[in-house]
Chain A
Amino acid sequence: MVQAERTQEAPRIDSWGKVSGSATFVEDMPELTGSLYAAPVKSPYAHARVGAIDVSRALALEGVSSVLYRDNLHEFGLQLDALAPLDPALIVGDKALYQGDLVAVVVASDLRTARRAAELVDVDYEILDPVFSAEAALQAGAPILHDHRGTNSIFDDSLMWGDIEDGFRQAVTIVERNLVSPTVFHHPMEPVGTGMVRFAGDIAEIWAPTNTPMRDASDIAHVLGVPADHVHLRVPYVGGGFGAKKTTREMAAALALSRKLRRPIRVVATGEESFHVAVRHAMEYRARVGVDAEGRLVALDVDLAVDCGAYFTGGKVATHNACTSAWGPYRVPHFRVRAKTAFTNKTPATPHRGTGKTQTTFAIECLMDEVARTISTDPVEFRERNVLLPGERVPERFTVEGSRIAGDSAPMTIDFPSLMREGMDALGPEQPPLSPSLVRGRGVSVSLRNWAKGSEESQASATLNPDGTVTVAHTASDLGQGIYNMISVVAAKTLGLDQAQIHVENPDTSTMLRFPGATAQRTTIELGNAVYAASTNLKRQIIDLAVESRGGTPDAWIIQGGSLWLGDVRYSLSDLAKEAPGVVLSAVGSDTEVYPTDDAFGETEFWTPGVAAAEVDVDRDTGEISVLRYAILAEAGKILHYNSARGQLEGGAVMGFGLALFEELRYEDGQVQNADAFQYRLPLMRDVPPSFQVLITENGDGPGPFGAKGIAQTSIPCVAPAVANAIFDAVGVPVSSTPITPEKVLRALGTLTDRP
């Protein structure tokens, strides 16, 4: 393995825009002439039957143009169930299913009036009992959310190999644990749900921050009943996403209003409203694990309860990911996971960085430490004994959708034992804590994910401009990862141009270039390959044109250092472009040209590990936890831009500190208790450990351009278990749910008990 070194690299292409405030986010876009403002009416109750809705006072307010709600949808050419089954309908019908469910959208001449009018919409609510956990929602007699279904159960998922009962018969030690990951909010800094819409002729135009523009455009087309190519969604800079950014119901409703009113409409979401758009799936992981006399895992049986919130907006992928990661990276001869998913009266859960895997990684990694300590084995040694080693194979293969594929999985390429040792070494020599009330501990955690190939191909186009520069078009939103910079690096390197000669467009769905979405750490691989293919195809066209106009053979021409060369003679691309007026050199490329496969596995399968080591101090008197040292290890295949890779790994870990120590949306007394920036504690600069290291290796074996892999989601899942295991090491007792608060530590220690 080769340790990546920080090389001299050009700053990211979006650097100046972002440090000067000139990068344009949707709210920074200039006002469209005649623009109106939308404001939502949202259910204040988690579960309520909706009776009469009276909009007359709202409509009477000066400046109010229209209100869209259940009873007048037909006037807008809409149907209540216009979205796919189980997704939220465009707007609430006779029941509101979570606090924040969309009841109406008001449009007025200015935002203040629109918001006041929204307050004037009178809604009769009959409050119903809410249910706030998957386990409770699946019990007999639980309040039912979707009446017509008669149950809160959505679907069951499972995955198994070997014979679980036989496995437990071989076990000499059996450990049972229940590990809980709560509902959390992604909290991108740019509010979720801000956008701008307009109908121009019969074209629906949207400017919105979303990580899935093509899918959103298709959903919007479905809601509005227009052809998909009539929805032109453009994505400006996006102020973070982590799974929460999408074209919202408010924007779809605003488009319907815009179609009727023939006016552009601005939708402005607040930071507080953002908490009610998307959250992470809460999961409960009940496990029974058996080890034999040699301390080898023989059986793992997991029951997962997945809380999907009020609508089914991402439950399938989260649940499937949870099942395929429930065994970690371990050699488990007899394995079974059974997942149940349920509707609850919480904000609809969507993908959240490391979807489904962050929750199970916390669980399996805490479980491994507990087993190790039960059999008096060092947790690192226990892992070395049980983790899949290079060359070993996973027993079963599955498509992204969960169906089995015949044949062998790709062999493990990751050397976890050496990564773990490097991580522990990175923490340095152990030293005692500075105060007698403090206890110090160390923990390690590992995770594994494979490449989840997107559900469709990825495309990009490359066009030679008359000035000799090249424009790359695509539909992959940059949510901050540095995707446009990645495109620029790949195009420049493939074409032999300087990065200054590459223009990267913002996503625009009217290009009809396909891309499944900037999710699942797939963009560098799949879009990167599409850009590589488009650039290669354009290069061929450029050289063909050069041969035609200047002679020579295609093999004799090269593009290097930004120019065309025939032997020692240099030609500029702009001269070539100018000499052929009317000839447009433009090429589309697809990732399938680089990896012609339609499933995620087989020859193109690869593994990305996550490894982390943590050192903590815990105050036995107060329960206070300080993470002192933290090391992240990752395998990038090939780093295309070091600072971007480092940024993704550090950023994932920082978000992980939040999940480990602070973040939980608490639902009590029929309400969410802390859905605002004051009460929802996010990680701050002072929460970053004084020693915070990132160690990246480059094996060069990734399926992306120049051997790159995706790494964006490898650091986040390791944090909570590494910190939890370090706390366990320090205090000698485990904590079985995140966030690990001082209160939970004191309760685990038995020094804090409820008053009798």
Chain B
Amino acid sequence: MEASSEGIATLETVALQLTVNGRVWSGDVPVEEVLLDLLRRRLGLTGTKRSCESQVCGACTVLVDGAPTSSCSHLAFETNGKSVTTIEGLGSEDSPDPIQAAFIRHMGFQCGYCTSGQIMAAKGLLLHNSSPSQEEIADWMSGNICRCGCYAAIAAAIRDASTRTRRG
């Protein structure tokens, strides 16, 4: 049987340069490639998770120039010239980011699948508003689904991180 290419068009690629966790990355990517695939497959940054792939659940949240973004629904080329921060770009085990430390203290996770996205969304919130109220936290974080239902602990972790950060 002769091989066909039925229905599969050769993808156009586009040159892209962006900063990921402080490092510059450049290369050619297919125009339809989403940021999630760029991060997970090309850069091996698997801390960002794939879940609903429709910008509903928040598991794939990363920061693009400081703004929480669903990487599953964000085309990679749109990040050209921008700065992307993923969970790998936060703290280390010896020196965790305050929000990571607060998630550990309050156990703001169970299965952990949504946690990277929760932490990046929380990070985005605190960058934007250093002392959010309970309502502001709930409103901002309602784009990140946690099926294990850790919301109370996540909210407590965010309040705690915000207090400690302000205290400096």
Q: Which residues of A contact B (CB under 8 A)?
A: 11-12, 14-25, 27-28, 56-57, 59-63, 112-113, 116, 119-120, 186-191, 237-242, 270-272, 479-482, 643-644, 646-648, 650-655, 676-678, 682-686, 688, 690, 692
The answer to whether residues A188 and B56 also contact, given A60-B2, A688-B151 and a CB cut-off of 8 A, is: no
**Can you list 22 A-B contacts with CB-CB less than 8 angstroms, sorted by A residue number?**
A11-B105, A11-B107, A19-B100, A19-B109, A21-B46, A57-B6, A60-B3, A62-B3, A189-B111, A239-B111, A240-B110, A480-B110, A480-B148, A647-B148, A654-B149, A677-B52, A684-B151, A685-B141, A685-B154, A688-B138, A688-B152, A692-B152
Question: A121: shortest Cβ distance to chain B, in Å?
Answer: 12
**Selected contact of B107 from candidates A12, A56, A271, A686, CB within 8 Å:** A12
Q: Is B107 touching A647 in the complex (CB atoms < 8 A)? A: yes
Residues of chain B within 8 A (CB-CB) of A479 are 111
Write the nearest CB–CB distance from A511 to chain B, whole angstroms: 23
A61 to B5 CA separation, bound complex (whole angstroms): 5
- Asked if A61 and B49 sit within 8 Å, CB to CB, the answer is no
User: Are B147 and A17 in contact (CB-based, < 8 A)?
Assistant: no
- The B47-85 residues at the A interface (CB cut-off 8 A) are 47-54, 56-57, 59
Chain A residues with CB under 8 Å of B3's CB are 60-63
Nearest Cβ distance between residue B61 and chain A, in whole angstroms? 11
Binary interface profile of B, 1-23, with partner A (CB < 8 Å = 1, else 0)? 11111111000000000000000
Contact of B138 among A25, A119, A685 (CB under 8 A): A685
Q: Which of B50, B57, B107 has the most CB of A within 10 A?
A: B107
Q: Which of A113, A239, A652, A653 has the most CB of B within 10 A?
A: A239
Are B147 and A62 closer than 8 Å at their CB atoms? no
Q: How far is the CB of A230 from chain B (nearest CB, A)?
A: 30
Give the distance in Å from the alpha carbon of A190 to the alpha carbon of B49 in the complex.
8
For A239, what are the chain B residues with a Cβ–Cβ distance below 8 Å?
49, 111-114
Q: Is the CB of A650 within 8 A of B150?
A: yes
Identify which of residues 87-131 in chain B touch chain A, using a CB-to-CB cut-off of 8 Å.
Answer: 87-88, 90-91, 93, 96, 100, 103-107, 109-116, 119
Report the bound CA distance from A655 to B145 in whole Å.
11
Q: Is the CB of B112 within 8 A of A23?
A: yes
Contact with A along B128-165 (1 / 0, CB 8 A): 00000010011101101111111111110000000000
Q: Which of B7, B105, B107, B147 contacts A188 (CB 8 A)?
A: B147
- Measured CB to CB, the closest approach of chain B to A297, in angstroms, equals 33
Instruction: Give the residues in chain B near A684, CB-CB below 8 Å.
Output: 142, 145, 151
Cβ contacts under 8 Å, A482 to chain B: 110
Tell me the complex Cα distance, A678–B145, Å. Answer: 12
**Shortest distance from the beta carbon of A548 to any chain B beta carbon, whole Å:** 39
Closest residue of B by beta carbon distance from A644? B107
A27 touches B147 (CB 8 A): no
Are A21 and B48 in touch, CB under 8 angstroms? Answer: yes
Q: Is the CB of B87 within 8 A of A21?
A: yes
Complex alpha-carbon distance, A263 and B139, angstroms: 47
Bound CA–CA A192/B113 (angstroms): 13
In contact, A480 and B142 (Cβ under 8 angstroms): no
Beyond known contacts A20-B93, A189-B57, A678-B54: 11 more, CB 8 A cutoff: A19-B109, A22-B47, A27-B49, A60-B2, A61-B6, A62-B8, A240-B111, A240-B148, A242-B147, A682-B145, A688-B152
Which residues of chain B have C-beta atoms less than 8 A from A59's C-beta? 1
Nearest neighbor of B57 in chain A, beta-carbon distance: A677
Complex Cα distance A652/B147, Å? 9
Residue of B nearest to A479 (CB): B111
A482 — nearest CB in chain B belongs to which residue? Answer: B110
Q: Which residues of A are found within 8 Å of B142, using beta-carbon distances? A: 684-686
A270 CA to B109 CA in the complex, in Å?
Answer: 23
Query: Contact check: which of B1, B56, B96 meets A677 at CB < 8 Å?
Result: B56
Q: Contact at B1–A56, with CB atoms within 8 Å? A: yes
Residue ID in chain B nearest A480 by CB atoms: B111
A615 CB to closest chain B CB, in angstroms?
17
Known A-B contacts A16-B104, A651-B148; the reply to A188 vs B2 at CB < 8 A is no
Q: With A682-B147, A684-B145 as given contacts, are A16 and B54 in contact (CB-CB < 8 Å)?
A: no
A345 and B155 alpha carbons, distance in the complex (Å): 41
Write out the residue numbers on chain B whose beta carbons fall within 8 Å of the beta carbon of A60: 1-4, 6
A72 to B86, CA, bound (A): 45
A120 to B6, CA, bound (A): 9
Q: Are A15 and B110 in contact (CB under 8 A)?
A: no
Contact status B53-A62, CB under 8 Å: no
Are A21 and B88 interface neighbours, CB within 8 A?
A: yes
**Beta-carbon contact of B6 and A112 below 8 Å:** no
Distance, CA A57 to CA B3, complexed state (A): 9
A651 in contact with B149 given A60-B2, A238-B111, A686-B138 (CB within 8 Å): yes
How far is B146's CA from A644's CA once the two chains are assembled, in angstroms? 15
The residue on B at minimum CB distance from A657 is: B149
Verify A651–B110 contact, CB threshold 8 A.
yes
Write the chain A residue with the least CB distance to B48: A21
Contact B145 A643 (CB under 8 A): no
Residues of A within 8 A of B139 (CB): 686
Q: A15-B104, A25-B113, A238-B111 are contacts. A653–B52 as well, Cβ < 8 Å?
A: no
Q: Which A residues are in CB contact (< 8 Å) with B134? A: 690
The complex places the Cα of A62 from the Cα of B6 at a distance, in Å, of: 8
Closest to B157 in A: A19
A189/B145 contact (C-beta < 8 A), A60-B3, A480-B111 known: yes
A27 to chain B, nearest CB (A): 7
**A648 and B57 alpha carbons, distance in the complex (Å):** 21
Report B102 CB to chain A, min CB distance, Å.
9
Q: What CA separation (Å) do A703 and B153 show in the bound complex?
A: 29
Minimal beta-carbon separation of A178 from chain B (angstroms)? 30
Quick check: B7 and A20 within 8 Å, CB to CB? no
Out of A11, A22, A63, A188, name the residue touching B113 (CB < 8 Å).
A188
Output the least CB separation between A747 and chain B (Å): 28
**A189 & B7 in contact (Cβ 8 Å cutoff):** no
Query: Which of A188, A271, A655 meets B54, CB within 8 Å?
Result: A271
Per CB-CB distance, the 4 closest pairs between chain A and chain B, nearest first, are: A21-B47, A654-B149, A480-B111, A239-B113
A116 contacts B49, CB within 8 Å? no
CA of A57 to CA of B4, assembled, Å: 8
Chain B neighbourhood of A62, CB < 8 A: 3-5, 8
A677-B57, A685-B138 known; A61 vs B147 contact (CB < 8 Å): no
